[in-house]
Every structure is written in structure tokens, then in C-alpha cells.
Amino acid sequence: MKKSAFILLSILTSAIAFNGCGFYSFTGASIPPEAETISVSFFPNHAQIVQPTLSQQFTEALQDKFMRQTNLNLVEAGGDLHLEGSITGYSTQPVSIQADDVAAQNRLTITVRVVFDNHYQPDSSFERTFSRYYDYASHKSLSEVEDEAISIINEALVEDIFNASVVQW
């Protein structure tokens, strides 16, 4: 009984120590200990095809990820860490062409240009393009799958951006 209590106490102490220092989180995020805030600017849609709600959905998903996975406070502008950019691509195209020259699947691709600024670690700042896609059956229209596709693509893009900016493995 005493041994299990000691192990539990050791685990709790380690968790508090790692969480309290502000440099490491159990999500793998490496954030400078002096960083307290993050700002995420609105990502306007500059793609040739503009999906009306995409900018808002993407920006909110990015903000939510940082709020859920870090101890940083979200501020309107001038955060210790700052993300900005734009949606540069939103397109659908046929993939998986069959023998009769008909597509078996279509692909929705979303591309985002991101500028990340780390005030305390400028070497980890970057400007980069991220792109993800969602394949769907060609017998379905984009409007039938668009909400699900955008949700899945946004989740993947946000994860990629989060990892590139604060995980850096």
C-alpha cells in the first residue's frame, strides 16, 4: 500500500513540476517559459473560390487549439506568439480516374499561408504554406460533403500548424 501511494505521489509531483514551469506540456508543446500570450489574426480567404464560412471556422479552430492545448492567454494582437496569414487555395478536382475516363473520387484541397512569430525564440518563427485534402466519392456533390470535409481538413491543418509552431519535434 505504501509503495503505490509513493508512486502516485511521484507521478503527481512530476505532473505539477512539468505543468508549472510553462516550458513543456503533456501535448508536447515547447513554449518559452516567459511566453504568456498568443494572438491569432483573422485568416481572410484569398482563394479563387471563396467558401463563405471557411475563414471564420478556420480562425476559430486555430484559436481553440492553442487555448485547449497550452496555458497561453489569447489576446487580440501583439501576443508573445503570433499567427497570421490567409487561405490561399480552395479547390476541388477529380482523382482516381477509372478505365472509362470517369473519376471515382474527387478531392477538396484547402491551402493556408501562415506566418508564425515567436517573440522569445525568433529562430523558431516561420512563414510557410500548409495544405490538406479530403477525398470523396464522385457520385456525391461537393455540397453534400462540404461541411464534413471542411471540418476534417481544418482539424488536420490546425494540428499541422500547432505542431510546426510549438511542438517542433
| 63-104 pLDDT, tens digit each | 999 999 999 999 999 999 999 999 999 999 988 776 666 668
Find out whether 90 and 105 touch, Cβ atoms under 8 Å. no
**Three-state DSSP state, 168:** coil
Q: What is the tally of structural domains in the chain?
A: 1
| 21-55 pLDDT, tens digit each | 444 344 456 788 899 999 999 999 999 999 999 99
Helix (H) or strand (E) holding 150: helix 142-162
Does 1 fall in a domain?
no
Does 157 fall in a domain?
yes
Does 59 fall in a domain?
yes
Could you identify the residue written with the cell 510549438?
Answer: 166
Domain of 126 in residue numbering reads as 34-167
Does 12 fall in a domain?
no
Does 18 fall in a domain?
no
CB count within 10 Å of CB 61 equals 19
Query: Which residues have CB under 8 Å from 72's CB, separation 6+?
Result: 31, 35, 36, 37, 38, 66, 79, 80, 81
Radius of gyration of the chain (CA): 20
- CATH number, domain of 111, equals 3.30.160.150
